[in-house]
Structure 1
Amino acid sequence: MATNASRGKAEENKPSVLSTLPKELPLDFLKTITDQFSEERNLGTGAFGTVYKGIVPDGETIAVKKLAENSPVARDKLFTNEVQNIMALNHENVVRLVGYCHEAQKKVVQNNGRYIVADIVESLLCYEHLPKGSLQKNLFEVPDKMDWDTRFKIIKGICNGLLFVHSIPIVHMDLKPENILLDDNMVPKIADFGLSRLFGQEQTRMNTQNVVGSYGYIAPEYLYRGEISTKSDIYSLGLLIMETTTGQKNCPSNEPSAVQFIRNVREKWTELHIATRYPSLNADRLQQVKRCIQIGLECVEIDRQKRPAIENIVDKLNGRCASRSE
């Protein structure tokens, strides 16, 4: 006869429903677990779609992103980018893609004043659910301000995630606080690879005439010349590091590359200001704050060649001296 202990052990070893599912998920299943994409399950809406909370039969939760039909980038391109570029990624600082759906359904739609039955393709992406939400929310919307150790841990985690992404090499193209999600232990995870580009082994940069990205985080060489490289991400990373360190929001208003925000940080965040802003920190931690401000400012150099490589940034954050890459 099975004891309670042995029954408990069997339950423990039982695989989760999620781990037994195929990567390509049926649309009906995603409708069921999101309660037909109900408003109560809406976790947030952005330019590229709406994210819903999905509850699988064993109670595990996932985030289901339904791509918008009228997004700034074609849905098929967003879908392909996310699936191809992050399905294989496995790193503690990158959000895990657990499944996807690309399914045509017959719908009655209006066309030239007539109603016709057409095949409408729904594109959905499913990720691990991170209930703490975005860095944006935790930095600027939650009343309890984060202490310095948490901020520093988040900065290091984002940089470790980007080091992994750039090693593939993938350029993310949309780093900003909304696209960094936090788990229950405040471990940051880079999310939203809809704009990402995969580079060939010998390729260091490419040009595009179709500039898309988030206002206030776009590197100038991409904005004005359509140049894409890993250094485009470094520019956005610098802004992220400065926002996390200072607790001040980059509000670009009419400046896509955050010139005013950068100027304010450069002028205001002196050693004296850092000591005033963080009065309870010891000398080592004050040095960490100063180092993060310095790294952030190096990352937003107008000349991309002067920005440090992600390897050097990680070295500096870990207290290892590294010269800037030219």
Structure 2
Amino acid sequence: MSFSTLSEFATLLAQAPQPDMAAREGAEARNAQLTKPAGSLGRLEEIAIWYAAWRGDARPKLAAPQVIVFAGNHGITAKGVSAFPPEVTVQMVANFEHGGAAINQLSRNAGAAMSVHAIDLDRPTADFTETAAMDEVDCVAALKTGWDAVDPQADLLVVGEMGIGNTTSAAAIGNALFGGAAADWVGRGTGVTDAGLQIKEDVVRAGVALHAGKDALGILAALGGREVAAMAGAIARARSLRIPVILDGFICSAAAATLEKTQAGALDHCIAGHQSDEAAHARLLEALGKEPLVSLGLRLGEGSGAALVIPLVRAAVECLSGMATFAEAGVAAGATEG
């Protein structure tokens, strides 16, 4: 599968595979016979059955999770939308590569392979209050970077990002896709002052007004960043490979939203790992119909919240696949009730 235009990418989304319903039914049947009261593992049961359906195996294993961090720089930082300069993106990429960031620790804790992809950091996107952040060629290239970064042997995917200014980009995407006022979507990101928050709001309002009327992938190009587009490309590639995805925070969810608004159901292979402390993430998850697994006040990005819950998803899968059924354990059905 390949694409060279946004239209061709949209076609791939429309042709994406669906979950394996036989595997789902098998997982549901097995879950109903496990040595526990019906429904007693709550959402763990839902997660395991969802995972089984996408992996095409009623008794799956989760052995090869992958974490990918994409980095990009944003032209809108010149407007003063961040508490940090764009040089921090380069510095943090080096930190990722040397294993010193939170996502390194969380990936290791989860037993996940992790990679970092810095995308043209010396060539920031354009200021989206003046023109599109990316033209179609640049956006397609970033989507392909994400698409090609996914390991076909992975059995769970987390995508994260690093890019000074990208909460402003995410806010603009959310506002453009789902409406409301700019203030509904703007938060403090890296910790901007009240004055900085007003600048972000003004920037988002101007960008959304300038690019009104574009379709969802046009919005991704006009208001996104290279790392944002790369996350969307990786999530789409995972769908093509039937690899389940744990969505991270606000920026990752904004990237994912462009897929869902392009093709309804494009995120059926995704669950929300957490609800971040960024103001509009809850609004965005609600618009996507995704209930977060945890809410711990995180607002780091990098894929950190999603990587944190990889062990939770693995635990759900282990319970489905590893627990004995009543028949296997020689326990009378219903004996665990009460």
* TM-score normalized by the length of structure 1: 0.26
Name the structure where strand makes up a greater proportion of residues.
1
Larger radius of gyration: 1
Name the structure where helix makes up a greater proportion of residues.
2
* TM-score normalized by the length of structure 2: 0.25
RCO higher in structure (CA 8 A, sep ≥6): 2
